[in-house]
Amino acid sequence: MTVNGEARVCDVKGSESLLSALRDYLRLTGSKGACEQGECGSCSVLLDGELVCSCLVMAADAEGSEIVTIEGLGGPELHPVQKALVDSGAVQCGYCTPGFVVAAAALLEENPAPSSDEMREALAGNICRCTGYGAILRGLETLVAGR
Amino acid sequence: MEVVHPADLDEAVGALAAHPGATLLAGGTDLMVEVNFDQIRPEVVVALRRLDDIQDVSRRRIGAGVTFRRLESGDHNALAQLARTIGSPQIRAAGTIGGNIGTASPAGDSLPFLAGLDAEIELHSTSGTRRLRWDDFFTGVKRTARRPDELITAAVLPEDLPDFQEFAKIGQRSAMVISIVSACVFRWRDGRTRVALGSVGPTAIRARRAEEMISEETDPGPTALEEFARLVAREVNPITDHRGTDDYRRHASGVLARRLLERCLSS
């Protein structure tokens, strides 16, 4: 599979998830595992351009696919979403942050000027246990307003 | 574990014929939860995500591999409404209508839509294609008439589609919820009405007495609507679980059905 633009080979044992392949085999530990059932969004990645929970993708089914993880979003500079969340102080414990960044980046890719409601809808699958939603949304609103 | 990535439908059903116990993997949103919690250990997986033959959607035929994200807009208002209520963007990008049908959860959000339209489920195997009407296909909680060698290829809708259709569900929040009650109401200009509900029985339930009663009313007033809600509440068959009590579900079924009918009448 292609991960963040690079061809990677990963010899998984069985039915483990793409999240496990990324973290345990490829050591890309930016995507986080928490609920393992698609409820929390902390493992969000782009699979062939679609925002998905990598815990719900069977690694073996990602064969030949293109995957972008949090590690592949920015370049030498931070991705605009990352910078926006830093500027708004939108990180508390930080565990959900990679998932939020990937989901927000996917939203802005599709809709460069989302309304607040559209942002809330797009991030409905990402849970912040610190309940730091206000600063996350403020960061994104500031980013969109400044464009 | 062996994973088969069939290039076409023939290869897919060939793999199922060769491995009758094979596990079907579509969007993974149900299956991977069981895998992650070590409830199942599949030996042979037939992976359907990239099977082109089941990706087409038209007015009367919805390919099994179509994701709910793709169904968020389209010809059928109720189908788009229900697609938008499913999970989160991540879940909708992966989950398919064929998976929803195959899992046959009592809370499957596409089931009231299919039940209300008397849709048929199309099944394909090496011995051919057959179509089962929804009430012959869904046989119980997470049970269907699909044989292990068959693949769900599409949901087929009837020719006579309704003029108005509405879906809504009740959950504990507005995203990432499993329905406590879901409902679909269909109405034709001549008055014919159908109502199907989810999460209030082992499979979707049609409130047929309510349908008969309200179909006679060309311009239902408050009394008729009240009676409609009362009949719907009587015909559902809910249980009490951690998401809601049977009494609440029964009451909510009537309220939801009436509200959706009112939307049909005012559109």
Q: What is residue B238's predicted lDDT score, i.e. its pLDDT? A: 92
pTM equals: 0.95
Cite the beta strand spans of A39-144 per DSSP E: 44-47, 50-53, 66-68
- Using CB atoms within 10 A of its CB, is residue A44 exposed (0-12), middle (13-18) or buried (19+)? buried
Q: How far apart are CA B217 and CA B212, in angstroms?
A: 9
Q: What is residue A62's predicted lDDT score, i.e. its pLDDT? A: 96
CATH level 2 (architecture), domain B164-266: 2-Layer Sandwich (3.30)
Domain ranges of chain A: 2-72, 80-145
Q: Tell me which residues of chain B, numbers 17 to 46, contact chain A at a CB-CB cutoff of 8 Å.
A: 25, 27-29, 31-33, 35-37, 41-42, 45
Give this complex's ipTM.
0.96
Chain B nearest CA to A72, separation (Å): 18
Q: Tell me if A2-72 shares its fold with A80-145.
A: no
For A76-99, the pLDDT digits (tens) are 899 999 999 999 999 999 999 999
Q: Do A15 and B94 touch (CB under 8 A)?
A: no
More confident site: B187 or A13: B187
Least Cα distance to A91 among A56, A119, A57, A130 occurs for: A130
Q: Which residues of B touch A15 (CB under 8 A)?
A: 1, 35, 41-42, 45
Q: Any idea which residue has 């938008």 for tokens?
A: B84
How much is the average pLDDT of B206-231? Answer: 97
Q: Do A15 and B42 touch (CB under 8 A)?
A: yes
Output phi, psi for B158, to 5 deg: -75, 165
Size of interface A-B (CB pairs under 8 A): 94
Assess whether pLDDT exceeds 90 at residue A106: yes
- In chain A, whose CA is at the least distance from the CA of B3? A60
The DSSP code sequence of B13-26 is: HHHHHH-TTPEEES
> pLDDT band at B20, cuts 50/70/90?
confident
Q: Do B32 and A51 touch (CB under 8 A)?
A: no
DSSP helix/strand/coil, B67: strand
Facing B29 at nearest CB: one of A38, A41, A126 = A38
- Sheet with B151-156, strands from edge to edge, namely B61-63, B151-156, B120-125, B128-133
Q: Do A38 and B69 touch (CB under 8 A)?
A: no
Q: Which residues of A touch B35 (CB under 8 A)?
A: 15-17, 58
Q: Residue B70's Cα: distance from chain center in Å?
A: 15
Least Cα distance to B114 among B168, B158, B176 occurs for: B158
CATH level 2 (architecture), domain A80-145: Orthogonal Bundle (1.10)
Q: What is residue A123's predicted lDDT score, i.e. its pLDDT? A: 97
Domain ranges of chain B: 164-266
Percent of chain B residues past pLDDT 70, beyond the cut: 100
Cβ of residue B47 closer than 8 Å to a chain A Cβ:
yes
Q: How far apart are CA B151 and CA B6, in angstroms?
A: 12
Chain B nearest CA to A51, separation (Å): 5
For A16-67, the pLDDT digits (tens) are 999 999 999 999 999 999 999 999 999 999 999 999 999 999 999 999 999 9
CA end-to-end distance (rounded Å), chain A: 34
Assess whether pLDDT exceeds 90 at residue B177: no
Q: How far apart are CA A39 and CA B226, in angstroms?
A: 38
Q: Which residues of B touch A45 (CB under 8 A)?
A: none
CATH level 2 (architecture), domain A2-72: Roll (3.10)
